[in-house]
Amino acid sequence: MSAQQSAAPSDEEMQERRKKEQIQLTDRMRPIKHKIIVMSGKGGVGKSTVSTNLAIALSQAGKRVGLLDVDIHGPSIPKMLNLEDRRITGSGDTLLPVELLKDFKVMSIGFLLKNQEDAVIVRGPMKYHTIRQFLKDVAWGELDYLIIDSPPGTGDEPLTVVQSIEDLDGAIIVTTPQQVAISDVNKSITFCNKLDLPIIGVLENMSGFICPHCGKPVDIFSVGGGKRLADEKGVPFLGCIPLDLEIVKSGDNGVPYVKAFPDSPTTKAFREAIYPIVCLPERSD
Ligand code: ADP
């Protein structure tokens, strides 16, 4: 037997390590009152846009907020918040989030990339370890809300988050009105049900179009699919965010929409969507 083989940890040692790691992770999460995962059935429905703007809207409502991006293959939060040049800082078992505004902190797996064009090549078990390390090591301090932006679908990343955070409040599921996205969102609902994760609500994004000329809403896709689906499945509906060209520009410029346009009807829609989140009951511990 080689020295390397004899040094391999036994199953018992591995179990012990995992237990210790879970205790550290739970300790990190304890000062955070509410933890929410944002999911979508497929990519491109505006999940990261929604995560960012909901997080900023919560912060504008006076809450202490952290935004965590665990999208290993396509982290878009750094670009949306103009933080592409940021890198991970900290030492030992402590990673420091970027404090973008007072009481608004951000951490992204994208901060690990030397170059935003770099691809992260990580397979299943590595994803699990990377995400758990983020959950265990990022020193958020006291927060009212941690919003976790996970990649589309029901793969390793959301699964790791749900299985690692013992007191996750629940999931927000983002969809668009088109039927194809709606059928994908069904999978997200099934995922939450199978894992006993409460669904805070379904949010229909790109719902109707705000005409850049007259500022009035126009229904270019069918609208209302998200609400119908939520009613059918007996889960709450958080509201509709219209398709708004200014959201694209804001995302590209790195200034969150609700910050750039605090008084617009679209910002009002974001604010209405956070209402049930602000009203989440306090935990008793
Ligand atoms: P996902 O995280 O689901 O992949 P993103 O949040 O990255 O999607 O959004 C994809 C693109 O759609 C981005 O260019 C973003 O600016 C744009 N987008 C998202 N929501 C809206 C909206 N309500 N109106 C207009 N553009 C939007």
Sign of CA dihedral 175, 186, 109, 94: positive
Percent of the chain residues past pLDDT 90, beyond the cut: 64
- Closest ligand 1 atom to the C-alpha of 242? 23
Supply the pLDDT for residue 219: 74
Residue 42 in contact with ligand 1 by CB distance below 6 A = no
DSSP tag of 137: H
Q: Does domain 14-278 have CATH number 3.40.630.10?
A: no
- Closest ligand 1 atom to the C-alpha of 49? 6
Cα 60 to middle of ligand 1, angstroms:
21
Is pLDDT of 48 > 50?
A: yes
Residue nearest to atom 5 of ligand 1 (CA): 46
Residue 247 in contact with ligand 1 by CB distance below 6 A = yes
Mean of the pLDDT values across residues 56-79? 93
Cα 218 to middle of ligand 1, angstroms:
18
Query: Among 87-91, 134-138, 274-278, whose mean pLDDT is lowest?
Result: 87-91
Residue nearest to atom 22 of ligand 1 (CA): 243
Residue 49 in contact with ligand 1 by CB distance below 6 A = yes
Cα 208 to middle of ligand 1, angstroms:
14
Give the model confidence (pLDDT) of 190-241 as tens digits: 999 999 999 999 999 998 887 778 877 777 766 788 888 999 999 999 999 9
Cβ proximity of 235 and 189 under 8 Å: yes
* DSSP track, 53-110: HHHHHHHHTT--EEEEE--SS---HHHHTT-TT---EEETTEEEPEEEETTEEEEEGG
Residue-range domain boundaries for the chain: 14-278
Mean of the pLDDT values across residues 260-277? 94
Is pLDDT of 1 > 50?
A: no
Residue 206 in contact with ligand 1 by CB distance below 6 A = yes
Residue 40 in contact with ligand 1 by CB distance below 6 A = yes
